[in-house]
Structures are given as structure tokens and as C-alpha cells.
Amino acid sequence: MNSSNRQGFMTRLDERRESSRFRRRQTRTATAIEQQFASNDYLSLSQHPQVLKAAKDALDRWGFGSGGSPLLSGYSNAHRELEEALAEWLDVEAVVLFNSGFAANHGTISTLIQTGTIYFDRLSHASLIDGIRSTKRRFKRFEHNRIADLSAELTPTAEDWVVSEGTFSMDGDRIPEQELSELQQHSKVSVLLDDAHGLGVWGEQGLASYGALRDNIRLLTGTFGKAFGASGAFVAGSGDDIEELIQFCREYIYSTAFPPAQAAAIQAALTVIRSDEGAELRARLADNIDNFKGQLQQRQLNLIASDSPIQSWVVGDDQQVMLLKQQLQQAGFAVSAVRPPTVPEGSARIRFSLQAQHQPQHIDALCQQLDKLS
């Protein structure tokens, strides 16, 4: 690194520190469910016996690493079977696996969107925004969840795209499904829906917003790092679209495939999600969400309206939100503090993530601790 580049780098770091937005990795210490309110493991499947057994059995069969990229030596029967199981669950022609949600979103958008204008929600995830920017296509942001305004003002055509999350990762609210369905039927616009935080969590068989919108969705992206309790991601769609990704998507072609044991564990998680047990876990999670929301509303905290496991207490001030996180951590509770630029200016927040395995007494204990802080 030459001296001018290094000076610029150091200046950026100093500015980040002075703005109270310097990010630090923290080693996870809270493993007990009663302490953990920062994890995206919404259905608590990362510790499910069937998931762990599937991973262990696959390790005995395949070893750990995949050994290569999917187009060389890294694509095993475990990967193929997972893709087929996902395609059957989602009722699509084909599915392809990726190492992360960021890679899936960025790679899909940069590879497949070659024409028209891209309309995307202002609060879309960074992976969607970066993918859109990489296309060099014309794009327009619309105000958060204002699909009706998009329909009235922007009049997309069949060559255009609408890109959005299903359940939004920071606010936890959901896309207005009826409005999006009407827009797509009227304009024939292509829709890419990222439902990373919705799939598995709600709806019949855990299909979330996709269950209501499947006839309107051209491409669905999702991750395994939330309800599935693992990591990795997928893209689902027509056979032609998925084949184009396999042939031309650089994020897919030039990345080592994730381990076969991971694929086997994810398939076991999918089996649970689709089962009666999965429905029970979703019902338990919904009860926990209602309980937590009710308690925070009684305390008149500034909570963003959300029916998802993502519950956000907007504090506003960056330094104050970090102090609150530290105090909760010292009391034994793991929560997330989210500051700009991840969220809009003035909306720094404590982000709570609820799980199916939380018990009422765990939620009570957290809320009682909040009484001491707020």
C-alpha cells in the first residue's frame, strides 16, 4: 500500500472512530437460549437432533470439505438432493446453491438482469443494492413498501424488474403482498424476491410471502442462516434462469462449494420445517413474538411495527444505543446494536431476535432488565 493510499485509509478509520460508528467483532459468549436474543436461528434448528445427526452422518461419508467448485469436483449427491428437495418445496423448476446470501443476490442480479429499469425498495439489503449497481442498468428507488405508489407513478413494463425483500432484515416488516401481486399482473414486470428472513418462519409449510406470491415471482432468493439454522443460500426459478446462473454467474463458478455435510444438515432442517413439528415451532415462535411485543408496548418503548422475529427498539443516538447494548451484555443478554449507515440516520436501534425455544420466563427476564435501563 503506497503512502497516499495508506493515509486515506487511516483517515477513513479515524473518521469512523470519531463518529461512534466503528465496528468491532465480538466473540460470542452467550450460548444458553435464555441469554441469546441476537441470533437469527429463529426456529432453533441449529441444535435440532435430526439436523446434527444428518451432519454427522454426512461427515462420516463425505469428510468435511467439498474439494472444489461446483463445476469441478465440489458438487455431491448431498448438494443435488438438497436442490431437488428445495425445488419440490417451492414448486419451481430448478434451484442452485450459493455460499452466502450476499453472493446469491449479487450474482443473480449482475448475471440475469440485462434489460429494462430496476425498481427497488429503499430499505433493500446491501447485497441487492450492490448487485443492482453492478448491472449498470438504470435504477430507481421507491419509498419503503410503497408498492402502490410504484404502480401509479413509475409504470414499469415487461422488460423491467422489481427487487425487494419479503421480510425486511432491519425493520422486520413485510412486503405488501396484494399490492405487489396486482402490480406484477398489470405490468408483467419481473420480480426478484429475497425472503431470507421469512422462509421457514411463517406461512403454510414455512413458505412466508412466497406462498402468496409464487405466481408473481420470477426469482426467489433465500438463505440457510436464519430459520434453517445453518449457512449458505439458494436461488429458485425457471430451468432457463438457473441454467444461466450455472453457466455465467461468477459468484457460483469461481467459489468452492460448501461442504456436503452442510447440505445434508440443511435438508434435514427443511424436513423439520415442512413437518408438523415445524408448524408447532412456528406457532411457538409467533406466541413469543406476541408476548415480547406486548411487553415492550406496555413499556411504551419506540418499537418498529413488526410481526416477525425481528423486533427493533429505535433509540436514535448512536452512543446511547451502544451503551444500552453494553449494559444488556453485562446483565447476560446478547442483543444487536445497529447504527447508520446500516440503518437510516437517526434510527440507531437495539435489535432483538426471538426464537421458538425461548420460554416465557426468558422473555420476562429480558423485559425486566429493560425496565432498569429505559
Active-site annotation holder among 41, 121, 194, 241: 194
Check if 194 is active-site. yes
Q: What kind and span of H or E run contains 103?
A: helix 101-112
Can you tell me which residue has the cell 405508489?
Answer: 149
Check if 144 is active-site. no
What nine digits make up the cell of 39?
441470533
What residue type is assigned to position 87 of the chain? A
What nine digits make up the cell of 33?
437460549
Active-site annotation holder among 106, 125, 358, 362: 125
Using a 10 angstrom Cβ sphere, with 0-12 exposed, 13-18 middle and 19 or more buried, the burial of residue 218 is: middle
Distance (Å, whole) CA 107 – CA 118? 15
- Smallest Cα–Cα separation from 235: which of 35, 83, 351, 14? 83
**Sequential DSSP letters for 177-223:** HHHHHHHHHHH--EEEEE-TTTTTTSSGGG-HHHHHHGGG-SEEEEE
Pairing of strands 348-353, 336-338: antiparallel
Check if 293 is active-site. no
Using a 10 angstrom Cβ sphere, with 0-12 exposed, 13-18 middle and 19 or more buried, the burial of residue 185 is: exposed
Check if 79 is active-site. no
Distance (Å, whole) CA 233 – CA 191? 18
Share in percent of the chain as helix, strand, coil (round to 5): 45, 15, 40
Active-site annotation holder among 40, 66, 288, 308: 40
Active-site annotation holder among 169, 190, 308, 347: 169
How many Å from the N-terminal Cα to the C-terminal Cα in the chain?
46
Reduced to 3 states, what is the DSSP secondary structure of residue 84?
Answer: helix
Active-site annotation holder among 165, 173, 195, 241: 165
Peptide bond into 49 cis (omega under 30): no
Active-site annotation holder among 197, 325, 358, 362: 197
Check if 287 is active-site. no
**Sequential DSSP letters for 52-75:** HHHHHHHHHHH-S---S-TTTT--
Catalytic residues: 40, 125, 165, 169, 194, 197, 226
